[in-house]
Amino acid sequence: MRQGCRITILTGAGVSAASSIPTFRGPGGLWRTHRPESLATAAAFKDDPKLVWEWYNWRREVIAGAQPNPAHAVLTLWSRRYPGFTLVTQNVDGLHERSGTANVIRFHGSIWEVRCWNRCASAPPRWLDHTVPLSPLPPRCPYCSGLLRPGVVWFGESIDPEVLQQSLKGADCDVFMTIGTSSLVYPAASLVRSAKKQGALTVEINVEPTPAADVIDLFLEGPAEQILADIERRLAG
Ligand code: BV8
Ligand code: ZN
């Protein structure tokens, strides 16, 4: 991690766990009570837009009451210290941005953005809406009075090509850290593999090993908020 080192980070829900935002697959995770396919897909939305919006509205309320935690803070410090620092997040909560990290690559979009479900011509492709709680549900497009949808990437939907391209470029780095993700969702989980192939030192920070283990050079077991603070103490020491 010497000065000038090209660092790329991929984060998942584990980085927001210390901000009391539920993860998806861990104990108490969001997917414990619902099946992903029953909420985070276009088909689920088409079938019951109100139910899907009730879930996102509830998550927006939880996130609005949450604060970034030391894991976000250390990554913000590093984003300012290392030129060419790249942060790709699978999280849609906006906590990296709120903690001051610039140019966050939002691989799965943002829960704070909405889009017109009809993609009507007069509406912008997406826009920010921080209203909490949203009411009535489902929210309506102000341009065509059709349905609004959350500005996130659902299962079976493609990643924004520009975002994918920027993220793959970020995989060409000296150190790639995958932090707080179960490495189950693709194509996000392919980034660490691409980094390894290009000669990066790969580091995983997680409370348990993940399916990325076979391409990980250094596994740091423990909570990201503690381990990142510990690394920063050693770097600044
Ligand atoms: C795509 C929506 C091309 C936003 C999410 C069959 C049919 C169709 C598709 C597929 C298929 N098989 C595979 C696929 C591809 C599919 C996929 O990967 N499925 C998996 C589940 C098998 N992917 C897609 O569909 C993607 N698109 O492929 O497009 C395409 C197009 C058409 C047809 C086919 C392909 C789109 C993927 C995006 C899906 N959207 N969410 C939202 O509502 O949030 S994914 C969802 O999981 C979240 O967004 C989250 O970002 C993502 C990953 O979860 P994690 O962040 O890793 O969280 P998780 O809870 O799982 O893990 C937390 C980790 O933290 C754990 O490891 C835990 O140990 C650790 N932890 C906990 N506390 C701490 C900690 N670590 C450190 N410190 C702590 N304190
Ligand atoms: Zn519209």
Band the pLDDT of 59: cuts 50, 70, 90.
very high
Confidence label for 176 from pLDDT (cuts 50, 70 and 90): very high
By C-alpha distance, which of 71, 105, 76 is closest to 91? Answer: 105
Distance CA 89, CA 188 (A): 9
Residue 112 confidence (pLDDT) above 90: yes
Per-residue confidence (pLDDT) for residue 171, from 0 to 100:
98
Query: Is residue 162 lining ligand 1, measured as CB closer than 6 Å?
Result: no
Cβ of 227 closer than 6 Å to ligand 1, yes or no, is no
More confident call, 199 vs 2: 199
Residue 168: which pLDDT band, with cuts at 50, 70 and 90? very high
Active site residues: 108
pLDDT digits (tens, 9 = 90+) for 60-79: 999 999 999 999 999 999 99
In tens, the pLDDT along 142-166 reads 999 999 999 999 999 999 999 999 9
pLDDT band at 175 (very low <50, low <70, confident <90, very high): very high
- Range 173-186 burial, b when 16+ CB lie within 10 A, else e: bbbbbbbbbbbebe
pLDDT in the model for residue 45: 96
Res 116: pLDDT = 98
Residue nearest to atom 36 of ligand 1 (CA): 155
Question: If you measure from the C-alpha of residue 185 to the centroid of ligand 1, how many angstroms do you get, rounded to a whole number?
Answer: 3
3-state secondary structure the chain: CCCCCCEEEEECHHHCHHHCCCCCCCCCCHHHHCCHHHHCCHHHHHHCHHHHHHHHHHHHHHHHCCCCCHHHHHHHHHHHHCCCCEEEECCCCCHHHHCCCCCCEECCEEEEEEEECCCCCCCCCCEECCCCCCCCCCCECCCCCCEEEEEECCCCCCCCHHHHHHHHHHCCCCEEEEECCCCCCCCHHHHHHHHHHCCCEEEEEECCCCHHHHHCCEEEECCHHHHHHHHHHHHHC
Span from the CA of 147 to the centroid of ligand 2 (angstroms): 7
Q: What is the pLDDT of residues 212-225, one digit of tens each?
A: 999 999 999 999 99
Question: Residue 115: is its pLDDT beyond 80?
Answer: yes
148 Cα: distance to centroid of ligand 2 (angstroms): 7
**208 Cβ below 6 A of ligand 1:** yes
pTM: 0.96
pLDDT of 24:
86
> Mean pLDDT throughout 173-178?
98
Q: End-to-end alpha-carbon separation of the chain, Å?
A: 13
User: 186, 191, 228: which to mutate for ligand 1, most atoms within 8 A of CB?
Assistant: 186
Closest listed residue to residue 207, CA positions, set 54, 25, 67: 25
Band of residue 127 on the pLDDT scale cut at 50, 70, 90: very high
User: Whose alpha carbon is nearest atom 64 of ligand 1?
Assistant: 181
From 155, 157, 167, mutation site for ligand 1 pocket: most ligand atoms within 8 A of C-beta: 155
For the four alpha carbons of 36, 42, 46 and 49, in that order, the dihedral sign comes to: positive
Asked whether the predicted pLDDT for residue 31 surpasses 80, the reply is: no
Percent of the chain clearing pLDDT 90 (strictly above): 90
CA of 122 to the centre of ligand 2 (A): 7
- Tell whether ligand 1 has an atom less than 6 A from the beta carbon of residue 12: yes
